[in-house]
Amino acid sequence: MILLDGKKTSADIKQEIAKSVEEIKKQGRRAPHLAAVLVGIDGASMTYVGAKVKACQLVGFESTLIKLPEDTSEKALLQQIEALNNNPDIDGFIVQLPLPKHIDEQKVIMSIDPNKDVDGFHPVNVGRLTLGLPTFISATPFGIMELLERYEIPTSGKHVVVIGRSHIVGRPMSILLSQKRKAGNATVTIAHSRTKDLKSLTQQADIVIAALGIPEFLTADMVKDNAVIIDVGITRVPDDSKKKGYRITGDVDFKAVSNKASHITPVPGGVGPMTIAMLLKNNLLAYNGIG
Ligand code: NAD
Protein backbone atom coordinates (compact mmCIF):
# COMPACT_ATOMS: atom_id res chain seq x y z
CA MET A 1 0.00 0.00 0.00
CA ILE A 2 1.30 3.42 -0.93
CA LEU A 3 0.29 6.40 1.16
CA LEU A 4 -0.68 9.42 -0.93
CA ASP A 5 1.17 11.93 1.20
CA GLY A 6 -0.60 15.27 0.86
CA LYS A 7 1.59 16.87 3.46
CA LYS A 8 4.79 16.18 1.54
CA THR A 9 3.26 16.86 -1.88
CA SER A 10 1.82 20.17 -0.74
CA ALA A 11 5.20 21.14 0.73
CA ASP A 12 6.79 20.38 -2.66
CA ILE A 13 4.19 22.53 -4.44
CA LYS A 14 4.69 25.39 -2.01
CA GLN A 15 8.43 25.19 -2.62
CA GLU A 16 7.84 25.39 -6.38
CA ILE A 17 5.60 28.41 -5.89
CA ALA A 18 8.19 30.06 -3.61
CA LYS A 19 10.77 29.60 -6.38
CA SER A 20 8.47 31.30 -8.90
CA VAL A 21 7.93 34.18 -6.47
CA GLU A 22 11.70 34.55 -6.05
CA GLU A 23 12.05 34.78 -9.84
CA ILE A 24 9.30 37.40 -9.99
CA LYS A 25 10.98 39.48 -7.29
CA LYS A 26 14.37 39.13 -8.97
CA GLN A 27 12.83 40.76 -12.03
CA GLY A 28 11.91 43.72 -9.82
CA ARG A 29 8.20 42.99 -9.99
CA ARG A 30 5.86 43.03 -7.00
CA ALA A 31 4.95 39.73 -5.33
CA PRO A 32 1.56 38.08 -5.95
CA HIS A 33 -1.03 39.26 -3.44
CA LEU A 34 -3.91 37.15 -2.04
CA ALA A 35 -6.67 38.60 0.11
CA ALA A 36 -9.14 36.74 2.29
CA VAL A 37 -12.41 38.05 3.70
CA LEU A 38 -13.68 36.50 6.91
CA VAL A 39 -17.11 37.41 8.27
CA GLY A 40 -17.78 36.47 11.89
CA ILE A 41 -15.84 34.30 14.30
CA ASP A 42 -16.62 30.71 13.25
CA GLY A 43 -13.84 28.59 14.80
CA ALA A 44 -13.14 26.33 11.82
CA SER A 45 -13.24 29.25 9.37
CA MET A 46 -10.78 31.22 11.49
CA THR A 47 -8.42 28.23 11.51
CA TYR A 48 -8.67 27.77 7.73
CA VAL A 49 -8.14 31.45 6.96
CA GLY A 50 -5.23 31.63 9.41
CA ALA A 51 -3.58 28.68 7.66
CA LYS A 52 -4.07 30.33 4.26
CA VAL A 53 -2.46 33.59 5.41
CA LYS A 54 0.45 31.67 6.94
CA ALA A 55 0.94 29.74 3.70
CA CYS A 56 1.09 33.05 1.78
CA GLN A 57 3.91 34.22 4.00
CA LEU A 58 5.75 30.93 3.50
CA VAL A 59 5.85 31.27 -0.30
CA GLY A 60 6.56 35.00 -0.32
CA PHE A 61 3.09 36.23 -1.33
CA GLU A 62 1.66 39.42 0.04
CA SER A 63 -1.51 38.69 1.98
CA THR A 64 -4.35 40.75 3.37
CA LEU A 65 -6.89 39.44 5.85
CA ILE A 66 -10.10 41.43 6.09
CA LYS A 67 -12.01 40.52 9.22
CA LEU A 68 -15.60 41.74 9.36
CA PRO A 69 -18.01 41.41 12.27
CA GLU A 70 -20.75 38.74 12.29
CA ASP A 71 -23.47 41.40 11.84
CA THR A 72 -21.92 42.86 8.67
CA SER A 73 -24.71 43.62 6.21
CA GLU A 74 -24.82 41.97 2.81
CA LYS A 75 -24.51 45.44 1.25
CA ALA A 76 -21.33 46.21 3.21
CA LEU A 77 -19.79 42.88 2.23
CA LEU A 78 -20.63 43.47 -1.43
CA GLN A 79 -18.98 46.90 -1.18
CA GLN A 80 -15.86 45.28 0.27
CA ILE A 81 -15.81 42.80 -2.62
CA GLU A 82 -16.21 45.62 -5.13
CA ALA A 83 -13.18 47.35 -3.58
CA LEU A 84 -11.12 44.16 -3.92
CA ASN A 85 -12.31 43.68 -7.51
CA ASN A 86 -11.07 47.19 -8.32
CA ASN A 87 -7.81 47.05 -6.38
CA PRO A 88 -5.01 46.45 -8.93
CA ASP A 89 -2.62 45.31 -6.17
CA ILE A 90 -4.82 42.31 -5.29
CA ASP A 91 -4.46 39.42 -7.74
CA GLY A 92 -6.97 37.06 -6.18
CA PHE A 93 -9.19 36.83 -3.15
CA ILE A 94 -11.50 34.47 -1.34
CA VAL A 95 -14.54 35.02 0.81
CA GLN A 96 -14.40 32.31 3.46
CA LEU A 97 -17.58 30.21 3.55
CA PRO A 98 -19.96 29.60 5.23
CA LEU A 99 -21.27 33.15 5.63
CA PRO A 100 -23.71 34.24 8.35
CA LYS A 101 -27.30 33.25 7.51
CA HIS A 102 -28.48 36.79 6.70
CA ILE A 103 -26.06 36.99 3.75
CA ASP A 104 -26.91 35.39 0.39
CA GLU A 105 -23.84 33.28 -0.44
CA GLN A 106 -24.71 32.95 -4.11
CA LYS A 107 -25.04 36.72 -4.47
CA VAL A 108 -21.62 37.15 -2.89
CA ILE A 109 -19.97 34.58 -5.16
CA MET A 110 -21.57 36.21 -8.21
CA SER A 111 -20.12 39.59 -7.22
CA ILE A 112 -16.50 38.41 -7.30
CA ASP A 113 -14.56 39.30 -10.45
CA PRO A 114 -14.10 35.88 -12.16
CA ASN A 115 -10.47 36.84 -12.91
CA LYS A 116 -9.80 37.16 -9.17
CA ASP A 117 -11.98 34.23 -8.08
CA VAL A 118 -9.16 31.94 -6.93
CA ASP A 119 -11.64 29.64 -5.15
CA GLY A 120 -13.14 28.92 -8.58
CA PHE A 121 -16.73 29.19 -7.33
CA HIS A 122 -18.02 31.86 -9.76
CA PRO A 123 -20.37 30.45 -12.43
CA VAL A 124 -18.02 31.74 -15.16
CA ASN A 125 -15.21 29.64 -13.74
CA VAL A 126 -17.42 26.61 -13.13
CA GLY A 127 -18.57 26.93 -16.76
CA ARG A 128 -15.00 27.20 -17.99
CA LEU A 129 -14.05 24.11 -16.00
CA THR A 130 -16.99 22.21 -17.48
CA LEU A 131 -15.88 23.17 -21.00
CA GLY A 132 -12.26 22.24 -20.27
CA LEU A 133 -11.07 25.85 -20.69
CA PRO A 134 -8.26 27.41 -18.61
CA THR A 135 -9.74 28.45 -15.28
CA PHE A 136 -9.36 28.41 -11.52
CA ILE A 137 -10.21 24.85 -10.54
CA SER A 138 -11.54 24.92 -6.99
CA ALA A 139 -8.77 23.98 -4.62
CA THR A 140 -9.97 20.62 -3.27
CA PRO A 141 -10.65 18.92 -6.63
CA PHE A 142 -7.52 20.62 -8.03
CA GLY A 143 -5.50 19.14 -5.16
CA ILE A 144 -6.87 15.66 -5.78
CA MET A 145 -6.04 15.89 -9.50
CA GLU A 146 -2.52 17.01 -8.58
CA LEU A 147 -2.09 14.06 -6.18
CA LEU A 148 -3.28 11.59 -8.84
CA GLU A 149 -0.88 13.15 -11.38
CA ARG A 150 2.16 13.33 -9.13
CA TYR A 151 1.73 9.75 -7.93
CA GLU A 152 1.15 8.71 -11.55
CA ILE A 153 -2.09 6.91 -10.76
CA PRO A 154 -3.53 5.58 -14.02
CA THR A 155 -7.03 6.98 -14.58
CA SER A 156 -7.59 6.46 -18.31
CA GLY A 157 -10.36 3.91 -18.85
CA LYS A 158 -10.62 3.30 -15.10
CA HIS A 159 -13.90 3.30 -13.24
CA VAL A 160 -14.07 6.03 -10.62
CA VAL A 161 -16.89 6.26 -8.09
CA VAL A 162 -17.22 9.72 -6.57
CA ILE A 163 -19.39 9.73 -3.44
CA GLY A 164 -20.93 13.17 -2.97
CA ARG A 165 -22.25 15.69 -5.49
CA SER A 166 -21.47 19.03 -3.81
CA HIS A 167 -20.50 22.04 -5.92
CA ILE A 168 -17.11 22.31 -4.25
CA VAL A 169 -15.95 18.67 -4.28
CA GLY A 170 -17.99 15.82 -5.78
CA ARG A 171 -19.44 17.55 -8.85
CA PRO A 172 -16.22 19.23 -10.15
CA MET A 173 -14.29 16.05 -9.32
CA SER A 174 -16.60 13.95 -11.49
CA ILE A 175 -16.29 16.43 -14.38
CA LEU A 176 -12.50 16.67 -14.22
CA LEU A 177 -11.94 12.92 -14.09
CA SER A 178 -14.16 12.33 -17.12
CA GLN A 179 -12.42 14.98 -19.26
CA LYS A 180 -9.68 14.41 -21.81
CA ARG A 181 -6.77 15.49 -19.65
CA LYS A 182 -3.95 14.24 -17.45
CA ALA A 183 -5.53 12.24 -14.63
CA GLY A 184 -8.71 12.18 -16.72
CA ASN A 185 -10.35 9.93 -19.31
CA ALA A 186 -12.00 7.90 -16.56
CA THR A 187 -15.48 6.42 -16.56
CA VAL A 188 -17.15 8.20 -13.68
CA THR A 189 -20.09 7.26 -11.50
CA ILE A 190 -21.29 10.01 -9.19
CA ALA A 191 -23.14 8.76 -6.12
CA HIS A 192 -25.14 10.72 -3.57
CA SER A 193 -27.61 10.40 -0.74
CA ARG A 194 -30.32 8.98 -3.04
CA THR A 195 -28.05 6.37 -4.65
CA LYS A 196 -29.29 2.81 -4.20
CA ASP A 197 -26.94 -0.05 -3.36
CA LEU A 198 -23.81 2.10 -3.27
CA LYS A 199 -21.76 -0.88 -2.13
CA SER A 200 -22.28 -2.70 -5.45
CA LEU A 201 -20.90 0.39 -7.23
CA THR A 202 -17.89 1.00 -5.00
CA GLN A 203 -17.00 -2.69 -5.17
CA GLN A 204 -16.49 -2.25 -8.93
CA ALA A 205 -14.45 0.94 -8.62
CA ASP A 206 -10.76 1.19 -9.47
CA ILE A 207 -10.74 4.56 -7.70
CA VAL A 208 -13.11 5.73 -4.96
CA ILE A 209 -13.35 9.39 -3.97
CA ALA A 210 -15.24 9.69 -0.70
CA ALA A 211 -16.60 13.22 -0.15
CA LEU A 212 -19.74 12.95 1.90
CA GLY A 213 -18.77 14.02 5.41
CA ILE A 214 -19.76 10.85 7.29
CA PRO A 215 -16.88 9.54 9.44
CA GLU A 216 -15.54 6.11 8.40
CA PHE A 217 -18.44 5.58 5.99
CA LEU A 218 -16.39 3.63 3.42
CA THR A 219 -15.60 0.24 4.91
CA ALA A 220 -13.30 -2.55 3.69
CA ASP A 221 -16.18 -4.70 2.38
CA MET A 222 -17.17 -1.84 0.05
CA VAL A 223 -13.89 -1.73 -1.90
CA LYS A 224 -12.13 -4.16 -4.18
CA ASP A 225 -8.53 -5.26 -3.77
CA ASN A 226 -5.93 -2.77 -5.01
CA ALA A 227 -8.37 0.11 -5.34
CA VAL A 228 -7.12 3.69 -5.05
CA ILE A 229 -8.87 5.49 -2.21
CA ILE A 230 -9.13 9.26 -1.87
CA ASP A 231 -10.64 10.42 1.41
CA VAL A 232 -11.90 14.01 1.32
CA GLY A 233 -13.90 13.91 4.54
CA ILE A 234 -13.03 16.14 7.46
CA THR A 235 -15.28 15.70 10.47
CA ARG A 236 -14.53 16.75 14.02
CA VAL A 237 -15.38 13.75 16.22
CA PRO A 238 -15.51 14.39 19.99
CA ASP A 239 -12.49 12.80 21.69
CA ASP A 240 -11.67 13.53 25.33
CA SER A 241 -8.18 12.07 24.98
CA LYS A 242 -7.24 14.99 22.70
CA LYS A 243 -6.24 18.41 23.98
CA LYS A 244 -8.73 20.10 21.66
CA GLY A 245 -11.51 17.70 22.72
CA TYR A 246 -11.92 16.30 19.20
CA ARG A 247 -10.09 14.44 16.47
CA ILE A 248 -10.33 14.89 12.72
CA THR A 249 -11.86 11.87 11.02
CA GLY A 250 -12.18 11.08 7.32
CA ASP A 251 -14.95 9.34 5.38
CA VAL A 252 -12.93 6.12 5.11
CA ASP A 253 -12.29 3.41 7.68
CA PHE A 254 -8.57 3.92 7.11
CA LYS A 255 -7.27 1.02 9.20
CA ALA A 256 -9.29 -1.67 7.44
CA VAL A 257 -9.41 -0.14 3.95
CA SER A 258 -5.66 0.53 3.80
CA ASN A 259 -5.09 -3.25 3.99
CA LYS A 260 -6.90 -3.66 0.67
CA ALA A 261 -5.99 -0.44 -1.16
CA SER A 262 -3.06 0.04 -3.54
CA HIS A 263 -2.96 3.77 -2.68
CA ILE A 264 -4.80 5.74 -0.02
CA THR A 265 -4.86 9.27 1.39
CA PRO A 266 -4.65 9.58 5.18
CA VAL A 267 -6.78 11.99 7.22
CA PRO A 268 -5.27 14.27 8.33
CA GLY A 269 -2.33 14.71 5.97
CA GLY A 270 -3.94 13.72 2.66
CA VAL A 271 -6.32 15.91 0.69
CA GLY A 272 -6.52 18.63 3.37
CA PRO A 273 -3.01 20.09 3.03
CA MET A 274 -3.28 19.99 -0.78
CA THR A 275 -6.20 22.41 -0.69
CA ILE A 276 -4.15 25.34 0.57
CA ALA A 277 -1.27 24.65 -1.81
CA MET A 278 -3.69 24.69 -4.76
CA LEU A 279 -5.25 27.95 -3.61
CA LEU A 280 -1.75 29.47 -3.74
CA LYS A 281 -1.26 27.94 -7.18
CA ASN A 282 -4.50 29.55 -8.33
CA ASN A 283 -3.34 32.91 -7.00
CA LEU A 284 -0.09 32.61 -8.92
CA LEU A 285 -2.21 31.84 -11.97
CA ALA A 286 -4.28 34.97 -11.27
CA TYR A 287 -1.05 36.99 -11.04
CA ASN A 288 0.24 35.61 -14.33
CA GLY A 289 -3.21 35.75 -15.99
CA ILE A 290 -5.28 32.66 -16.73
CA GLY A 291 -5.97 33.77 -20.34
P1 NAD B 1 -21.77 18.40 1.39
O2 NAD B 1 -22.46 18.17 2.69
O3 NAD B 1 -22.02 19.63 0.61
O4 NAD B 1 -22.10 17.18 0.42
C5 NAD B 1 -22.15 15.87 0.87
C6 NAD B 1 -22.57 14.99 -0.27
O7 NAD B 1 -22.58 13.65 0.20
C8 NAD B 1 -23.97 15.30 -0.81
O9 NAD B 1 -23.90 15.43 -2.21
C10 NAD B 1 -24.80 14.08 -0.43
O11 NAD B 1 -25.75 13.73 -1.43
C12 NAD B 1 -23.75 13.00 -0.27
N13 NAD B 1 -24.15 12.00 0.72
C14 NAD B 1 -24.60 12.21 1.98
N15 NAD B 1 -24.90 11.04 2.57
C16 NAD B 1 -24.65 10.07 1.66
C17 NAD B 1 -24.75 8.67 1.66
N18 NAD B 1 -25.19 8.01 2.73
N19 NAD B 1 -24.38 7.98 0.56
C20 NAD B 1 -23.94 8.63 -0.53
N21 NAD B 1 -23.81 9.97 -0.60
C22 NAD B 1 -24.15 10.68 0.47
O23 NAD B 1 -20.24 18.18 1.69
P24 NAD B 1 -18.91 18.71 0.96
O25 NAD B 1 -18.80 20.17 1.14
O26 NAD B 1 -18.81 18.12 -0.40
O27 NAD B 1 -17.83 18.01 1.90
C28 NAD B 1 -17.77 16.62 2.05
C29 NAD B 1 -16.72 16.29 3.10
O30 NAD B 1 -15.46 16.75 2.62
C31 NAD B 1 -16.93 17.00 4.44
O32 NAD B 1 -16.45 16.16 5.47
C33 NAD B 1 -16.06 18.23 4.34
O34 NAD B 1 -15.62 18.69 5.60
C35 NAD B 1 -14.91 17.67 3.56
N36 NAD B 1 -14.15 18.67 2.79
C37 NAD B 1 -12.81 18.58 2.85
C38 NAD B 1 -12.03 19.45 2.16
C39 NAD B 1 -10.55 19.30 2.21
O40 NAD B 1 -9.83 20.24 1.96
N41 NAD B 1 -10.04 18.13 2.52
C42 NAD B 1 -12.62 20.45 1.38
C43 NAD B 1 -14.01 20.50 1.30
C44 NAD B 1 -14.77 19.59 2.01
For the segment 7-25, the average pLDDT, to the nearest whole number, is: 98
For the segment 29-41, the average pLDDT, to the nearest whole number, is: 97
Give the atom of ligand 1 at the shortest distance from the alpha carbon of 274. 40
Domains of the chain: 29-113 (3.40.50.10860), 139-272 (3.40.50.720)
For the segment 97-114, the average pLDDT, to the nearest whole number, is: 97
pTM attached to this predicted model: 0.97
In eight-state DSSP terms, residue 33 is E
Q: Is 191 helix (H, G, I), strand (E, B) or coil?
A: strand
**Are 183 and 153 a contacting pair, CB within 8 Å?**
yes
Residue 290 has pLDDT above 90, yes or no: no
Q: Which of 198, 143, 201, 158 shows the shortest CA–CA distance to 13?
A: 143
Quickly list H helices, the chain.
6-26, 43-59, 74-86, 105-111, 123-131, 139-150, 170-178, 198-202, 254-257, 271-288
Residue 37 has pLDDT above 90, yes or no: yes
How much distance in Å is there from the Cα of 233 to the middle of ligand 1? 7
What's the CA angle centered on 7, arms 19 and 57, to 5 degrees? 45
Each residue of 213-240: pLDDT tens digit? Answer: 999 999 999 999 999 999 999 999 999 9
pLDDT at 291: 65
Q: Whose CA is nearest to atom 17 of ligand 1?
A: 193
Q: Is 243 annotated as catalytic?
A: no
How much distance in Å is there from the Cα of 232 to the middle of ligand 1? 8
53 CB less than 6 Å from ligand 1?
A: no
Choosing from 5, 91, 117, 119, which is the catalytic residue?
119
Each residue of 118-154: pLDDT tens digit? Answer: 999 999 999 999 999 999 999 999 999 999 999 999 9
Q: Whose CA is nearest to atom 15 of ligand 1?
A: 193
